[in-house]
Amino acid sequence: MNEAIYKNEYTHNLLRYIENNISNNIDTELLSNVGYISHAQLYREFYNMSGHSVKEYIRNRRLSNALALIKTSEFPLADIAYQCGFSSQQALCRAVKEKLDMTPLEYKTGNNHYFFPPFGGQPPQTVIISSEIIPQTFCVKYYSKTLRNIENKAVGALFEQIPDYGGRIFGRNGKQNGTDFCYELYLTETHNIEKLCSFELSDEIAQFSSVFVKTTIHNTEEKINAAWDYLYYNWLPASMFQHNNEPYFEEYIIKNKKPVKLKLYLPVQKREGEFKISIVNNLDMRFIISKATGYNAEQKSSKTIINYLTEFYPYVLKTSKEFFIQKDAGFFVYGVRVNNDFRFQRYNNITDCITENGTYISLESEVMGDYDQYADMLLSFAYNNGMRAERKNIFMVYDAKNGYVKPKTKIYCIIENDTK
């Protein structure tokens, strides 16, 4: 059995063991035996895979289960504490107070909801979290008329003009200049840098340190894009981290003057808050939408809306800061929010969508995440809290009112509460 298959099996066995024994006094030494690995390796690998320590993960899962029972049942607190693995009622009350700054009774009668979903399993590539120093570098900018393969073109031009370059090479996308795309290289060795005639020499960048989420992948465009998507939209939202204000980097692993692998550096910090889940009555929202099916449905639907608004209502495109997404097997819907009294000219596949009256559960995150992952979290929360919710009733809104760099993600689902 190769290492990747073994790790995947071990991870699922470990998570299954935790969920099946969440109400018991789980001994982390026993967890090591589940995966047949050392205690230290268990902590390190679980932390890298999930973004949580083992003890923190168990503690948050217990609290999430307990709060679901507090909200939806009439069980005494002592019974809930026992069912969910707390040593006493006092320990449960203390945990609720520390996490939410309220008593269990205040939580039960209030509109706040806490949910910590179970971890989804083994990532598609190895992820490592560690402090790292990015050394002092000098930035040079490479421009190209096409974006495709611009990274390899930049590195190739570097070695073509400085064949004996021996320093480290970092890179990231730069700011487009007119119709020219830009890729920035950050070089630790400045010897002969004046020979770079096809580059724009920029600035010296001071050394800085940060906590990074890192992964190493082969140098193919498909794998690079998939790895970044996984870090941003899957791993990060489920972890205890969020992207900080430091820049990301790609470091090139060179062989025979060609980049064979890339190490991705995503700078992070501890997340400031948990996912916000609330109950919302009678959403009053309207969107102009387009639905597409089949291959490239996402690109087709968004392009249809953007082209339509650009031609007929450019002011909507300039002023709207909320964007609608809904998808399921075989189709994708994209939309832009408009005022409720907005009148528009129907055109081909352009329609409007008005949210129906009813009760919604809403999940809000400061981290942009994968639609399917957030949808699964919302459905899991509904199930754990005695609510009926269906995937077909879910939609996501990207809220960029505070800027496009870090838009808020809000996902909604109309529900019927079984506890009524």
Tell me, what's the pLDDT at 5? Answer: 43
Does residue 146 sit in the same domain as residue 264? yes
Q: Can you read off the two tokens belonging to residue 373?
A: 């992952």
39 Cβ neighbours under 8 A, 6+ residues apart: 28, 29, 32
Residue 19 forms part of a structural domain: yes
Does residue 144 sit in the same domain as residue 181? yes
Provide the domain count of the chain: 3
Tell me, what's the pLDDT at 6? Answer: 46
Does residue 163 sit in the same domain as residue 238? yes
Cβ–Cβ under 8 Å, residues 288 and 335:
yes
Cβ–Cβ under 8 Å, residues 26 and 12:
no
Does residue 153 sit in the same domain as residue 169? yes
Place of tokens 């790790």: 7
In angstroms, the Cα distances linking 245 to 6, 141, 242, 397, 410 are 36, 21, 10, 23, 22
Does residue 166 sit in the same domain as residue 38? no
Domain final residue pick, 270, 300, 325: 270
Residue 253 forms part of a structural domain: yes
Query: Residue 294: which CATH number?
Result: 3.20.80.10
Domain final residue pick, 270, 293, 325: 270
Residue 154 forms part of a structural domain: yes
pLDDT mean for each 10 residues of the chain (420 residues) = 51 76 72 66 78 85 89 89 91 91 89 75 75 93 91 94 94 91 94 88 90 92 88 79 85 92 92 73 90 88 91 88 88 92 80 89 77 83 82 90 74 71
CA angle 279, 22, 102 (to 5 degrees): 40
What's at 414, amino acid-wise? I
Q: Give the HSE-up count for residue 375: Cα atoms under 13 Å, Cβ half-sphere.
A: 15
Does residue 176 sit in the same domain as residue 299? no
Does residue 244 sit in the same domain as residue 154? yes
Cβ–Cβ under 8 Å, residues 213 and 123:
no
Residue 120 forms part of a structural domain: no
Does residue 257 sit in the same domain as residue 287? no
Compute the distance between CA of residue 354 and CA of residue 337 in angstroms, rounded to an integer. Answer: 10
Tell me, what's the pLDDT at 380? Answer: 81
Cβ–Cβ under 8 Å, residues 352 and 296:
no
Domain final residue pick, 270, 286, 304: 270
Tell me, what's the pLDDT at 273? Answer: 59
Cβ–Cβ under 8 Å, residues 240 and 48:
no
Residue 139 forms part of a structural domain: yes
Does residue 146 sit in the same domain as residue 238? yes
3-state secondary structure 225-253: HHHHHHHHHHHHHHCCEEECCCCCEEEEE
Residue 385 forms part of a structural domain: yes
Compute the distance between CA of residue 191 and CA of residue 3 in angstroms, rounded to an integer. Answer: 42
Cβ–Cβ under 8 Å, residues 47 and 129:
yes
Does residue 375 sit in the same domain as residue 302? yes
Does residue 265 sit in the same domain as residue 150? yes
Gyration radius (Cα) of the chain, Å? 25
Does residue 236 sit in the same domain as residue 360? no
Query: Residue 36: which CATH number?
Result: 1.10.10.60
Domain containing residue 361: 276-417
Residue 119 forms part of a structural domain: no
Name the nearest CA neighbour of 249 among 265, 226, 269.
265
3-state secondary structure 346-391: CECCEEEEECCCCEEEEEEECCCCCHHHHHHHHHHHHHHCCEECCH
Residue 301 forms part of a structural domain: yes
